[in-house]
């Protein structure tokens, strides 16, 4: 399942987010979205978790949880239209 993780502190790195998500299961990939010009984080990322049950548990446990001073938004990512 592909997850959207939003409202992240701008100092969060991909490896930090991967470590948090791995507490809930296997993480295939983490892609932190950055500004093309400044390379600064835009405050959200996409996390791929192959096991849907683990991903659903991560959503349940982490959505609204405080991480680096901000409440995270964690939900299933919707496909681009």
Kindly report the CATH number assigned to the domain that includes residue 37.
Answer: 3.30.70.330
Q: Residue 8 falls within a domain, yes or no?
A: yes
Total domain count for the chain?
1
According to the model, what pLDDT value does residue 73 have? 98
Determine the average pLDDT of the residues in 1-12. 97
Q: Which of 61, 62, 68 is nearest to 16 (CA)?
A: 68
Structural domain contains residue 48: yes
Rounded to an integer, the average pLDDT of 27-47 is 96
Do residues 58 and 21 touch, judged by C-beta distance below 8 A?
yes
64 lies in which domain range? 2-76
4-39 core/surface letters (b: 16 or more CB in 10 A; e: else): ebbebeeebeeebbeebbeebbebeebebeeeeeee
With a cut of 90, say whether residue 80 has pLDDT above it.
no
Which pTM does this prediction carry?
A: 0.93
């Amino acid at each position: 399942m592909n997850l959207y993780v939003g409202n992240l502190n701008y100092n969060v790195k991909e490896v930090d987010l991967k470590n948090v998500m791995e507490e809930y299961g296997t993480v295939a990939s983490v892609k932190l979205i950055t500004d093309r010009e400044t390379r600064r984080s835009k405050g959200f990322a996409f996390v791929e978790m192959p096991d849907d049950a683990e991903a659903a548990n991560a959503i349940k446990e982490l959505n609204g949880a405080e991480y680096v001073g901000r409440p995270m938004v964690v939900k299933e990512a919707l496909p681009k239209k």
